[in-house]
């Protein structure tokens, strides 16, 4: 899931925000989180924040974390990944640092995915986790990170159903090009709805 930082706030000109309504925001935060947990059947929601940990965006980063702390649920996992710091100079490949962190904490392995044997009408596997990824406007930064996570999960799925060898590093060139094109087109379509222009950051995976 891709979303903006869901905090009720006042904004002025170039300032990200000048005031955050914490109590009102928390009520909205709780409703939003609980609605998302329903889609995971009450299991796990992985919150990844890509906003800056300094400057104008830092107040959003800190306040978002305060809401998570106040909610205080083992069903929430939170990761702050300062995208602009890690990937400055258009080094989008550094998103691999985030993927390695997720893998180290067994998040990919434990989230599973929906897998149904249609011949026997048996559910072999059910998705138990959901990623909620946000920056400020849920466009470019979010799109880059979601693409990286989606590609990783796609490779796990293809290996599980024996369409990709277990010892293969990942998608072959043809499959990767198809994935990149589909994801870039999707990112552009979303960006046009939000900003009227194509996405600024390309898919790097």
Q: What is the DSSP string of 59-76?
A: HHHHHHHHHHHHH--TTE
Q: Report the pLDDT value the prediction gives residue 125, as an integer from 0 to 100.
A: 87
Phi/psi at 31 (5° precision):
-60, -40
Residues 6+ away with beta carbon under 8 Å from 108: 102, 152, 153, 156
Q: Report the pLDDT value the prediction gives residue 186, as an integer from 0 to 100.
A: 80
Tokens of residue 174, six digits: 């043809």
Q: Report the pLDDT value the prediction gives residue 37, as an integer from 0 to 100.
A: 87
Tokens of residue 107, six digits: 């998040």
Q: Report the pLDDT value the prediction gives residue 18, as an integer from 0 to 100.
A: 53
Low-confidence ranges of the chain (pLDDT < 70): 1-4, 13-19, 42, 137-139, 199-205
Q: Report the pLDDT value the prediction gives residue 110, as an integer from 0 to 100.
A: 84
Q: Report the pLDDT value the prediction gives residue 66, as an integer from 0 to 100.
A: 92
Q: Where do the structural domains in the chain lie, given as residue ranges?
A: 9-195
**The 129-134 sheet, strands edge to edge:** 76-80, 44-49, 129-134
For strand 129-134 and strand 44-49, is the pairing parallel, antiparallel, or unpaired? parallel
DSSP alpha helices (H): ranges in the chain? 22-39, 58-71, 83-86, 96-104, 107-111, 140-160, 173-195
Q: Report the pLDDT value the prediction gives residue 45, as an integer from 0 to 100.
A: 92
């Amino acid at each position: 899931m891709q979303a903006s930082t869901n905090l009720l706030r006042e904004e002025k000109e170039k300032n990200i925000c000048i005031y955050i309504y914490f109590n009102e925001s928390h009520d909205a935060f709780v409703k939003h989180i609980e609605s998302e947990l329903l889609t995971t059947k009450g299991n796990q929601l992985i919150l990844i924040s890509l906003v800056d940990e300094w400057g104008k965006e830092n107040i959003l980063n800190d306040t978002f974390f305060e809401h998570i702390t106040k909610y205080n649920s083992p069903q929430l996992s939170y990761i702050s990944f300062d995208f602009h710091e890690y990937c400055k100079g258009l080094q989008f490949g550094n998103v691999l640092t985030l993927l390695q962190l997720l893998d180290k904490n067994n998040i990919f392995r434990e989230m599973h995915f929906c897998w149904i044997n249609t011949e026997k009408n048996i559910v072999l596997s059910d998705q138990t986790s959901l990623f909620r990824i946000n920056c400020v406007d849920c466009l470019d930064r979010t799109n880059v990170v979601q693409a990286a996570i989606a590609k990783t999960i796609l490779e796990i799925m293809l290996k599980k159903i024996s369409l990709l060898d277990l010892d293969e590093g990942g998608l072959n060139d043809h499959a990767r090009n198809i994935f990149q094109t589909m994801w870039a087109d999707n990112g552009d379509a979303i960006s046009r709805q939000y900003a009227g222009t194509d996405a600024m950051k390309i898919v790097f995976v």
